[in-house]
Structure 1
């Protein structure tokens, strides 16, 4: 029985497919199947029911795979201890981040991180909150950057900063005459929103005191992109609500159509989220430092003032 074989059975259990597990482990499917079979022969038990699709672990397989996950976590701790003792910053960090945050935060963070820590391999995925939580629980991500709270006892949340929401108005919007807005000023029939499934959609409906299932304008445009929402407002009538960081590259004309809300300003909490028994503490701590270095100081959690958290 080897550490590598344990990694393989955990991968098969995670993806419920020998082919996908082999791909994620960067080996061929025959090699994956052979190594799992060798482990089964060494243990004298069958770990997976291959007659079912997707593949499922057997009753004894469930118990052995659970123990394999524990052993793998402990083995990774040994590597961390050695790396810390040598004063080296190296390894692999797998990060999940929500799409409404990624394009405005990660480019600057990645540039700085890779310059300072060239021996660290970053793997970054843009996922919805639901996907990030699932991947964290299955050990496929080391940490997630998302809007909190997620209210899951198996996860640990470390709040980093608060990001305000702003209104972005079309040229013809009657709201252009106002300096600051009240949430009740937003007409739902004029509002452009992200697809269902995005936490930011629910947050915006909460700001406007509307039900999550509320019917929006007769014409619907389904998008996962904040950038698309901006363009829809630029080229059509209406309004959308944007996270503050998305204004970084706005032109002067675009900034003229931004309106902040009256105090307390609606905001979302952004945190680094990990599994409660997470590893790679040093790498995640470094990531946190790099994030905070790119964020305006007024947004830091310790400077939380005059804002209203939206869930």
Structure 2
């Protein structure tokens, strides 16, 4: 029995599919299957019921997976304790980050961090907020980057406030306004992300009013990707809200949408670094947060005249 084999059964338990688990941990499916079969033969029990789809652990398999998680967590603690010794920062650092932040924030700080801390192996995984928090509780992630407060026992560090922006099609009536007001917005007018995204929930909180005066557009489209919503606006369909960093490299020469700021107080979301264990990798967490804060646009540092939407 090896730690590698235990990590394989935990991966299959998580994804409930051998091929998906192999892809997620960057090995071939035959290797994954062979090692799990070898462990089952050694223990003399069947860990997974392969006749079902998705794959599920057997009754004994569930108990084995629970113990495997505890063993892997203990091994990780030992690695962490060694990694934080001395002056240099090193080791693996796994980050869970929500999809409405990842593509816009990570490119800003990735190269500065790697240049400054070349011995740290960064691993990023996009996940919804609930999945990030679950991963932190299970010691799968070292830290998470999210945009809502946590209700669980977590340590939090504020990174910055990110304003909401309106993205309006060129023919929309709001394109004539210098700045948007919250009272301009109606829920049914906006393109929204799928349920499960905190950005959708925050958008709905900003738009407190239902559509009482306009005819609803003959299209219903909810996306899991902010870029899709951008493209809809650019095809002259309505309006959506965007986080500031998503429009940071917006080029008015190439697009048909119009970016609109909000009047004060500007609705904003608070971007947070969250983690579940304060005593391990504390210096690495502080270094990570410091590079992010040094890499973001300076206009995001100020909290003046902001209305935080949680």
- Calculate the TM-score normalised by the size of structure 2: 0.79
Match of 1:198 in 2: 197
Match of 1:267 in 2: 268
Structure 2: gaps (5+ residues):
none
Do 2:10 and 2:68's aligned partners in 1 also have CA atoms closer than 8 Å? Answer: yes
How far apart, in 2, do the equivalents of 1:239 and 1:282 lie? 43
Change (3 A) 1:275 1:29: same
TM superposition shift of 1:96: 3.0
- 1:1-311 mapped onto 2 (5 Å cutoff): 1-40=1-40, 42-43=42-43, 45-137=45-137, 139-151=139-151, 153=152, 155-188=154-187, 190-210=189-209, 217-236=217-236, 238-251=238-251, 257-275=258-276, 280-297=281-298, 299-300=300-301, 303-311=302-310
**Alignment length, in residue pairs?**
305
Structure 1: gaps (5+ residues):
none
Q: Deviation digits for residues 174-217 of structure 1, max 9, x if unmatched?
A: 43454443211124454333344432222112101047xxx952
Change (3 A) 1:207 1:108: same
Do 1:188 and 1:216's aligned partners in 2 also have CA atoms closer than 8 Å? Answer: no
Change (3 A) 1:8 1:228: closer
Over aligned residues, Cα RMSD in angstroms?
3.5
Do 2:95 and 2:125's aligned partners in 1 also have CA atoms closer than 8 Å? Answer: yes
Which deviates the most, 268-277 or 239-248?
268-277
Which deviates the most, 20-29 or 283-292?
20-29
Change (3 A) 1:154 1:89: same
Q: Deviation digits for residues 150-193 of structure 1, max 9, x if unmatched?
A: 43x26544332211112233444443454443211124454333
- Calculate the TM-score normalised by the size of structure 1: 0.79
